[in-house]
Amino acid sequence: MYAQMVKSENTDSGPELDAFQARIDAGEKIEPKDWMPAGYRKTLIRQISQHAHSEIVGQLPEGNWITRAPTLERKAILLAKVQDEAGHGLYLYCAAETLGVSRDELTEMLLDGRMKYSSIFNYPTLTWADIGAIGWLVDGAAIMNQVPLQRTSYGPYARAMVRICKEESFHQRQGYDIMMKMAQGSEAQKRMAQDALNRYWYPSLMMFGPSDKESVHSAQSMKWRIKINSNDELRQKFVDQTVPQAEYLGLTVPDDNLRLNPETGHYEFSEPDWTEFFEVLNGNGPCNKERLEARNKAWDDGQWVRDGMMAHARKKAARAAASKVAAE
């Protein structure tokens, strides 16, 4: 997902831990100042930050088309969508900060590659149809994961998710709306829509992460309620929901093995290429280098603005203090 393959820390034991687990089992929310196991804190910092970084880096592939959107209305909509993603990043960073990590530390860890972001944002957006496919498939997959996380055990994370989920369905709908337009358009537009689906289908399936049937990390995270469903469960749900939507568009899901199992009522489908997934996650995807360079450049180029505004704020405060003294 936006937080893929998050390693969970093994944790200390003792009576405090039992009481903590009992609170989680009772559906209570854990709040920033409450006692929590070091492993819970560390795993959450990793997971929430990775999610935040994904929202921020996720602006880049779509941002690529803001200046070239086909109409002024499409441009305004895409701009609002991308601005929402910046907001999502900020909600999540502030949730992570309640766990005792600073914003600058998080940013630095993204910029020097110590922290990851979702594999999906390392794919290029080659045509306008890709913007449709991203809203429809990528935001669609994100929603699958984020809706249950509204019930996660950590209060600030759960509340950030509630805000995010409220905004996501606009994202998915604007994407599908683009796809409908393209799929009903000229032959060239239809080809473009099909091509976007072809390129984004498997990377979207990868968003849920590899099967976690035997993963110890998943078991611990589920016990802590910072992971609610298994990767396979969510992927299946995504496929079941998305295939009929593709059919409605008159597009073909690029999978010869795709078929509806009449007994289970679920689609059977091909696994994505997991070697490709690990390559992308390890920095060797088509756009990894470009994405990190863009983030680093934005950070470096913005330094004088951040410094300047801080200097201005201090000067203003000093002036206000001086004039107060003079008045007394």
Partner 1 sequence: MSDQNTNPRTEWPLWEIFIRGQHGMSHRHVGSLHAPDAEMAIKNARDVYTRRNEGVSIWVVEAEKITASSPSDKGPMYEPSQSKVYRHPTFFDIPDDVGAM
Are the beta carbons of 235 and 206 closer than 8 angstroms? no
* Residue showing tokens 């009481």: 19
Give least dist CB 118 to partner 1, A.
Answer: 21
Per-residue DSSP letter, 71: S
Q: Binding to Fe ion (CB under 5 A): which residues in 119-158? A: 139, 142
Is 55 a binding residue for partner 1 by CB under 8 A? The answer is no
C-beta closer to Fe ion: residue 134 or 281? 134
Residue 309 binding result from Fe ion, partner 1, none, given CB thresholds of 5 to 8 Å by partner type? partner 1
CB of 145 to Fe ion, least distance (A): 10
Q: Pick one of 53, 171, 199, 227: the residue that binds Fe ion (CB under 5 A).
A: 171
HSE of 327, CA atoms in CB hemisphere, 13 A: 6
Residue 139: name its binding partner from Fe ion, partner 1, none (Cβ under 5 to 8 Å by kind): Fe ion
Q: Is 42 in the site for partner 1 (CB under 8 A)?
A: no
Q: Give helix 72-97 / helix 155-183 axis angle, nearest 10°.
A: 160
| Residue 44 one-letter amino acid | L
Please select the residue that binds partner 1; options are 29, 42, 159, 237, rule is CB under 8 A.
Answer: 159
Q: How many residues bind partner 1 (CB under 8 A)?
A: 32
Q: Is 104 in the site for partner 1 (CB under 8 A)?
A: yes
Task: Tell me the C-alpha to C-alpha distance, in Å, between residue 230 and each of 1, 22, 210, 227, 235.
Answer: 11, 22, 10, 8, 9
How many whole angstroms separate alpha carbon 323 and alpha carbon 193?
63
> Which residue lies nearer to partner 1 by CB, 60 or 164?
164
Contact residues for 194 (Cβ-Cβ < 8 A; gap 6+):
251, 252
Interactions with partner 1, residue window 260-319 (CB under 8 A): 303, 306-307, 309-314, 316-317
> Taking CB under 8 A as the rule, does residue 130 contact partner 1?
no
